[in-house]
Structure 1
């Protein structure tokens, strides 16, 4: 697909566009028999989620990724474009579009993922035009999990750095870090030296990033601790804590981290300080938490799960 020419500078994301099947069981899963559930099918993928949320918050944004040559891809691309995203995808013949089954715990709203990455990993031909008009590039760590996507993401990130584009890396999940390997994940972060590394507390702990230990490479690490204050660790070790407003009527934690990333990117793109960008990140994340799946589209939520806090 082609891309639109923007009069203003663009935020770009590179990574996964996936079919999310979000399952809310009405009670504990009963092994070997039926469990009543509410099931929602939505456009997903961390990079696509962030792009959609940036667009819905009024930002100019481009998504770059790979999908299968199938009807699922048509639906997902159309949905993302309808959100206002400039969608640039490679269609991979012989591969199905990626799918994730998201299992939402009926008690605390925590989610677990069953993932078939499909065509996502087959973004294989980086193009310099992808960065035309781009001011900021966001890369989930998922984009470095498999080849040839990882090589493409690395190539685009280095080209972005050469152009002076702001770079953000999201740690994605503990599973993504473990699958890639902690040492390799840290090597990616150090080599690409992003302006910001975004992570939740568990991801930061796995990477060895904490209060007095910034990650090697990033200008700053932004570490979310759920409902507890978020920690910003600068490269020199200086730390700042920013409180998180409480969120009422939480129905699903899926995509809260992507919402935070979208708010952070938009705020920084508009010249906000790191502290103010954290506040904006949590404001967007709060909107996501009140909807099923990783989406800012208006929705009628089901009965909230009790005691859920966002991550």
Structure 2
């Protein structure tokens, strides 16, 4: 696509991740469902932060992780997300800009603090997230710059941000602008709880507002209220222009134009932390899509990026993603 300043513009939660390791018994003793993402209030965030072990702080947020990955692959991404004028807000802004992502959303002077995601990684590499959204929920339509949307090949939105009402209106505005400008719109279902809370909205987005829909197999099953993945994917094939279903170590399936492309997972010597696996898969996929690659190659690029991210702690790449993808795709 011509005349674009950015390959991908993402709209999402601007969060700082606090990552620690613990046994599954820690989650059980505090009634935290293992392997899920849940929203918590400010007081619960403070309490949980106090009882977690020593943690590593790194800028996160699902769509923010995706655009950081796109930048690492040599792409031209931009991000819209709300932080507060506080220490964590400064950390987030510094990190995402240093990663090579354009970020100009002004920090809030008044209101809730910058959001944070408290992540517990168990010995099996599974991650359990407790998220305090804070300032994220204040993202408004005024934060959407129509010129930046029009100047981006692909608009990418995260389902996590669909929960609060004000950001939802901002994303709907961004979708309208992108569609009117002939730009592609991509959306990630994010989590089963997002799907269950906003199923009708997400199905509505599939019905003509979104070009590329990402979801893992659990999210896709939840979307169509079925335990059978084939049934869910058959329904998805009827509604989505391009649907991307990730299946952990089983790889991914891309559904488009009546065809299914099954792409195996990339080999990983050891799974350390699955935080950001889906985010980086989307990064690889969208980066390749913006470059005009065929859909199976987009999924392979996603698999390479995902494999790199689960080989270490945190959702920001440590290896040379650009080189890894180039070596895989040629």
Q: TM-score, normalized by length of structure 2?
A: 0.81
- Cα shift readout 1:285-308 (whole Å, capped 9, x = no counterpart): 111111211110369xxxxxxxxx
Does residue 1:51 correspond to 2:48, yes or no? no
Conserved? CA contact 1:8–1:133, under 8 Å:
yes
Per-residue deviation, residues 160-189 of structure 1 (Å, max 9, x unmatched):
0111111111111112222x3322322233
The number of residues matched between the two structures is 289
Aligned to 2:187: 169
Match of 1:157 in 2: 175
Q: CA deviation at 1:133?
A: 2.3
Change (3 A) 1:253 1:95: same
Task: Name whichever structure is richer in strand by fraction.
Answer: 1
Quote how far apart the aligned CAs of 1:245 are.
Answer: 2.5
The answer on whether the counterparts of 1:25 and 1:38 sit within 8 Å (CA) in structure 2 is no
1:181 to 198, 221, 225: 198
Gaps of 5+ in 2: 31-49, 225-230, 321-330
Sort the Cα spacing of 1:36 and 1:69 in 2 relative to 1 into closer, same or farther, 3 A: closer
Match of 2:283 in 1: 262
CA-CA distance at 1:37 after TM superposition = 4.1
Residue 244 (structure 1) shift: 1.6
Q: Deviations over 1:249-292 (max 9, x none)?
A: 22100000000000001100011011110000000111111121
Scaled by the length of structure 1, the TM-score of the pair is: 0.86
Q: CA RMSD in A?
A: 2.3
| Distance change in 2, residues 1:72/1:9 (3 Å) | closer
Relative contact order higher in (CA < 8 Å, ≥ 6 apart) = 2
Residue 47 of structure 1: how far off its partner (Å)? 1.3
What is the rounded CA distance, in whole Å, between the counterparts of 2:276 and 2:14 in structure 1? 13
Q: Deviations over 1:140-176 (max 9, x none)?
A: 1112111210000111011101111111111111122
Matched, 1:221 2:218: no
Stretch moving more, 89-98 or 270-279: 89-98
What is the CA distance between 1:26 and its match in structure 2? 5.4
Tell me: CA distance 1:79–1:62, structure 2 relative to 1, closer, same or farther (3 Å): same
Structure with a larger share of its residues in helix: 2
- Equivalent position to 2:15, from 13, 18, 37: 18
> 1:141 matched to which residue of 2?
159
Unaligned runs of 5+ in 1: 1-5, 300-311
